[in-house]
Amino acid sequence: MDEHALLDLLIQAARLLLSNGGETSRVETMIDHLARGAGLSDDQVQSFVTPTGIFISLTTENGTTTRLYRMREPGQMDLGRVTAINDLSRRFASGSCTLDDAIGSLKRIEAAPPRYSRVLQLLAAMISSGSFAVVLGGTLIDFVVAAVAGLTAQSTVSWLNRFVPRFFGVLLAALIATLLAEGLGVLIHSTSQGAITIGAILPLLPGLAITNAIRDLLAGDLLAGVARGAEGLFTAVALAVAVTLSIGVFAHVL
């Protein structure tokens, strides 16, 4: 067995799973499945995964080999890739594919386009923002305004995340979207301004980060759970600051 090739497979699979929305306990379980598929026992593979780093150690007849990978790339939150990587780990663990086949499959998963196109993602953001405004008591015109603001928020944060840390990307995107929502709400004389504003920031809510934080904490991964919880908290703070600033701006203008 080529320990270095196996370590490459483990590191790359863990990196993809973690960066696409997988919780740390799922990543560590996937590493164990892949290692068992290569013929290693539980005592021969040790892994420690955090939101910012992956540590894997393999012990064979040739000695112990350890690899560290520091997570730097921003998360893409593609649960389709998470499912594909989990399926690959199960097939490898059952002996349905070789090490070379698994490495090739992993490269194809990474190179594959997102399951949902960019246009479909923006359309979903629009519908969810508009629908949430209606649920909170808005009218049909409020639906349209919130949908436009939600589209602005989603497209802006996706573009900004390539250049700035997520906190600042969310802050700027939320500020632009809420200012747009407030401005359009004033123009149409909406009586449900709060519903429009809440609908506008809906695509930016840290739902997945908070869910993964809770799952990590329940699994006993306290470090990862606290780290992901802090990420969700910072995102929520950014949204609160953006909404406060936009409301304050219009309160002074009007």
pLDDT of 159 above 70: yes
Name the more confident of 251 and 129.
129
pLDDT score for 251: 67
pLDDT score for 253: 65
pLDDT score for 254: 57
pLDDT of 107 above 80: yes
Instruction: Return the ∠ at Cα 241 (arms to 240 and 247), rounded to 5°.
Output: 90
Among 58, 78, 170, residue whose Cα is nearest residue 120: 78
| 113 DSSP assignment | P
Residue 146 CA to residue 133 CA, distance in Å, equals: 6
Report the amino acid identity of residue 213.
Answer: A
CA 68 to chain CA centroid, Å, is 22
* Burial class (CB within 10 angstroms; exposed 0-12, middle 13-18, buried 19+) of 156: buried
Report the DSSP beta bridge partners of residue 69. Answer: 54
23-42: b or e for each residue (b if 16 or more CB lie within 10 Å)? bbbbbbbbbbbbbbbbebee
List the chain domain ranges.
3-111, 118-253
Torsion of CA 96, 99, 104, 108, to 10 degrees: 60
Between the alpha carbon of residue 5 and those of residues 12, 82, 225, the distances in Å are 11, 22, 30
Please identify which residue in the block is written with the tokens 């890739």.
81
Among 16, 10, 68, 28, residue whose Cα is nearest residue 223: 28
| Residue pair 176/156 in contact by the 8 Å Cβ criterion | yes
Q: What is the pLDDT of residues 16-36, one digit of tens each?
A: 888 888 888 888 888 988 888
Q: Share the mean pLDDT of the chain.
A: 85
